[in-house]
């Protein structure tokens, strides 16, 4: 049965496909090898990059909101980031249907291209406070992109603005942290540890800061799950081969699993 009122004449109106620019999106899956399973490989990575774009959109606005002392607005954005993270974690389950033999049929077509070069993944790491200077060299080919990455590399991450929020709330935070060199990965500070401990011991008084802390823990937890699933999927498909981008592959992915973005938020659980 056809419903009355459904629009069918789009000569002078925008269609769904035009709004989403599906012509460009769906023409962007070009298999260089022609192998059937290369389509899976391309789509998984493209979809993950789209989700990363949304993560960055939410994370960067959350950073601005925290700086403006608009914590409830930031909570909504950070909660959305956590939901998006479940999508990119589950994407590894789909990619893991690719067998080693199938991948080797088209791996050479990638040349030196590698997920290690994902600039959006780097921007997410920068927003979470993980900074590595040697990474920037990868992007020198594109001056505009290199400039964007350098700006993000030098900007405060979300934990830096959370520490500033602690200071504004009256906690005696080490003042050197508030305008430090943000291109240096944060390692931890006793004044920050003491502040979070007080927040967790008096949740009712510091409810907004407590909520902020838990939202950050959610994001780090999910990001580490994503890293782990990435590592295991790579191990499942190529074992311990060197990555196409020249990294040590699984060994590199394992090396970052122990890094903590927000160290005091994990340590506080032991101290409570």
Dihedral through CA 256, CA 210, CA 164, CA 182, nearest 10?
Answer: 10
Residue 45 annotated in ligand binding: yes
Residue 43 annotated in ligand binding: yes
| Spatial CA neighbour of 116 closest among 252, 228, 260 | 252
Residue 163 annotated in ligand binding: no
Residue 230 annotated in ligand binding: yes
Residue 107 annotated in ligand binding: yes
Exposure on the CB side of residue 87, measured as CA atoms within 13 A: 17
CB-CB neighbours of 97 under 10 Å? 10
Helix (H, G, I), strand (E, B) or coil at 70: coil
- Alpha-carbon gap, residue 155 to 67, rounded angstroms: 13
- If you search the block for the tokens 């460009």, which residue do you land on? 24
Convert 107-170 into a string of H (helix), E (strand) and C (coil).
HHHHCCCCHHHCHHHHHHHHHCCCCCHHHHHHHCCCHHHHHHHHHHHHCCCHHHHHHHHHHHCC
Residue 269 annotated in ligand binding: no
Helices 207-238, 158-168: inter-axial angle, 10-degree rounding: 160
Residue 42 annotated in ligand binding: yes
Residue 244 annotated in ligand binding: yes
**Structural contact between residues 52 and 120, judged by C-beta atoms closer than 8 angstroms:** yes
Q: How far apart are the first and last CA of the chain?
A: 63
Residues forming the annotated binding site for substrate?
41-45, 103, 107, 244
Residues forming the annotated binding site?
41-45, 103, 107, 230, 244
Residues forming the annotated binding site for heme?
230
């Amino acid at each position: 049965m056809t419903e009355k009122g459904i629009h069918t004449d789009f000569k002078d109106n925008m269609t769904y496909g035009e709004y989403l620019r599906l012509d460009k999106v769906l023409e962007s899956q070009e298999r260089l090898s022609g192998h059937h399973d290369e389509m899976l490989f391309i789509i998984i990575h493209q979809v993950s990059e789209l989700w990363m774009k949304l993560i960055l959109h939410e994370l960067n606005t959350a950073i601005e909101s925290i700086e403006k002392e608009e914590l409830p607005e930031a909570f909504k954005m950070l909660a959305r980031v956590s939901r998006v993270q479940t999508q990119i974690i589950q994407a590894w389950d789909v990619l893991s249907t690719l067998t080693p033999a199938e991948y080797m049929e088209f791996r050479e077509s990638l040349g030196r291209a590698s997920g290690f070069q994902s600039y959006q993944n780097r921007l997410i790491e920068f927003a979470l406070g993980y900074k590595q200077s040697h990474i920037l060299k990868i992007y020198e080919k594109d001056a505009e992109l290199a400039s964007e990455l350098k700006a993000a590399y030098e900007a405060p991450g979300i934990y830096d603005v959370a520490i500033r929020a602690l200071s504004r709330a009256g906690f005696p935070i080490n003042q050197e942290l508030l305008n430090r060199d943000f291109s240096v990965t944060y390692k931890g500070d006793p004044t920050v540890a003491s502040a979070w401990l007080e927040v967790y011991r008096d949740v009712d008084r510091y409810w907004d800061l407590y909520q902020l802390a838990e939202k950050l823990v959610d994001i780090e937890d999910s990001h580490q799950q994503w890293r782990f699933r990435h590592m295991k999927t790579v191990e499942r498909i190529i074992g311990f081969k060197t990555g196409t981008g020249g990294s040590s592959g699984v060994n590199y992915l394992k090396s970052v699993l122990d890094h903590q973005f927000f160290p005091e938020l994990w340590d506080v659980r032991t101290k409570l």
